[in-house]
Amino acid sequence: MNMIKVALFDAKAYDKPSFEYYGGLHDIQFRFWETKLNEDTVELAKGCDAVCVFVNDDVNAKVIEKLYEYGVKLIALRSAGYNNVDVHAAFGKVHVVHVPAYSPYAVAEHAMALLLTSVRRIHKAYNRTREFNFSLNGLTGFDFHGKTVGVIGTGKIGRILIDICRGFGMKVIAYDLFPAKDSDIEYVELDELFERSDIISLHCPLTNETRHMINDAAIEKMKKGVVIVNTSRGGLIDAEALLRGIKARKIGAACLDVYEEEADVFFEDRSGHILNDDLLSRLISMPNVIVTSHQAFLTEEALNNIAETTVNNILSYFNNDGVCDNELCYRCGNIESCKKERKERCF
């Protein structure tokens, strides 16, 4: 087998060790680029067999056309989500694979960590005690036990969060277009979930149907003081509507690991710069908002699994007649569950 050359875009220091390790085991040479993949940087993929991209790389139709022109055969996402890749434009030109599960525990546990931090004011207490301020004023939270949490999306991450919430003695209701079969989950319609939930946690993919599912109309249906947690995709929430709900005192708290316009902000050190995104600045300034920079996935176990699965995806394509269990196939309509059951190439 010849050396497989892969251009890995938006590379961070924590990406390199695991990709170098697994790539070295299988004659895969990763070329690490700190820049994101977009129309201006796509030329960096020349001479490569594949590209490896993350959530903020912009793999639109023009980029895909260039990749196809350069002879790139595979787009390997090192993430589960693929809303930043034009899968339709890729069909017939460049194959697309993803990592459907790297560590669902990492994301679910981070969602609960955000929730606990927010509700029990742990971040505020930490800052106070470092200044030897041991006052408890303004740190009152509420018990999770007996509260109703509404989980939107019951894939692996959503179901793990459900188990965690049940461990706290919380009542769980859920909404999913495709309910888990033979489960003991109480599924309800979305409007009912909005109306009944004390806490709402988002764990669904970003699609045309789910974009801005949390909007003014949805917030109007929610309980006063509701806590919203989003560790999935920023575009699930209309951030302007969220800010309005916070300022109107309808939303009691927001815990955000993702943000719709995060591409030029998250994963970078902006501490010495003026933030041009006024909306994000206003959200961060709110005392009942916690923002982490898309770090829910960031555990040792997840990084290892991402690299191992991505390398296996690449090997499956180049060494297995193009058949890969994790291919995203546009032709079949159900992008993640190809009707051909992965017995042949999608094209």
Q: Map residue 28 onto helix, strand or coil.
A: strand
Does a structural domain hold residue 31?
A: yes
Q: Which residues pair with 251 in a beta bridge?
A: 226
Query: Are 73 and 162 members of one domain?
Result: no
314-340 burial, b for 16+ CB within 10 Å, e for fewer?
bbbbbeeebbbebbbbbeeeebeebee
| pTM of structure | 0.88
Query: Are 44 and 178 members of one domain?
Result: no
Query: Are 218 and 257 members of one domain?
Result: yes
pLDDT tens sequence across 119-134: 999 999 999 999 999 9
pLDDT of residue 239: 97
Closest by alpha carbon to 104, among 175, 153, 171, 177? 153
pLDDT of residue 324: 83
Grade residue 98 by pLDDT with cuts at 50, 70 and 90. Answer: very high
Query: Are 115 and 264 members of one domain?
Result: yes
Query: Are 127 and 22 members of one domain?
Result: no
Average model confidence (pLDDT) across the chain? 93
Q: Residue 168 half-sphere exposure, CB side, CA atoms within 13 Å?
A: 21
Q: Do 88 and 60 form a contact (C-beta atoms < 8 A)?
A: no
CA dihedral 279, 125, 231, 298 (to 10 degrees): 110
How big is the chain by its Cα radius of gyration, in Å?
A: 21
pLDDT tens sequence across 268-312: 888 988 999 999 999 999 999 999 999 999 999 999 999 999 999
Q: Biggest alpha carbon distance in the chain?
A: 66
Q: Do 32 and 11 form a contact (C-beta atoms < 8 A)?
A: yes
Does a structural domain hold residue 40?
A: yes
Does a structural domain hold residue 331?
A: no
Which residues lie below 8 Å from residue 164, measured CB to CB, with a gap of 6+?
108, 109, 112
* Mean of pLDDT values over 89-113: 93
Does a structural domain hold residue 328?
A: no
Q: Map residue 340 onto helix, strand or coil.
A: coil
* Distance (Å, whole) CA 329 – CA 95: 8
Instruction: Give catalytic residues, as residue numbers.
Output: 233, 262, 294
pLDDT of residue 334: 56
Closest by alpha carbon to 293, among 228, 234, 241, 206? 234
Does a structural domain hold residue 341?
A: no
Q: Do 187 and 179 form a contact (C-beta atoms < 8 A)?
A: yes
Query: Are 32 and 117 members of one domain?
Result: no
Query: Are 132 and 278 members of one domain?
Result: yes
Cα angle vertex 82, ends 199, 323, to 5°? Answer: 130
Phi and psi at residue 22, to the nearest 5°: -70, -35
Does a structural domain hold residue 214?
A: yes
Query: Are 68 and 82 members of one domain?
Result: yes
Which residues lie below 8 Å from residue 89, measured CB to CB, with a gap of 6+?
60, 61, 64, 65
For the record, the structure tokens of 339 come out as: 């009707």
Does a structural domain hold residue 342?
A: no
pLDDT tens sequence across 334-347: 566 554 555 666 77
If one counts the domains in the chain, the total is 2
Q: What share of the chain is helix, strand, coil (3-state, %, to 5)?
A: 35, 15, 50
Domain harbouring 82, CATH code? 3.40.50.720
For the record, the structure tokens of 277 come out as: 């995104």
Query: Are 166 and 271 members of one domain?
Result: yes
Which residues lie below 8 Å from residue 184, measured CB to CB, with a gap of 6+?
none
* Distance (Å, whole) CA 58 – CA 53: 9
pLDDT tens sequence across 154-194: 999 999 999 999 999 999 999 999 999 889 999 999 999 99
pLDDT of residue 322: 67
pLDDT of residue 323: 77
pLDDT of residue 332: 59
**Number of helices (H) and strands (E), helices first, in the chain?**
11, 11
Range of the domain at 134: 104-291
* Distance (Å, whole) CA 251 – CA 258: 18
Does a structural domain hold residue 152?
A: yes
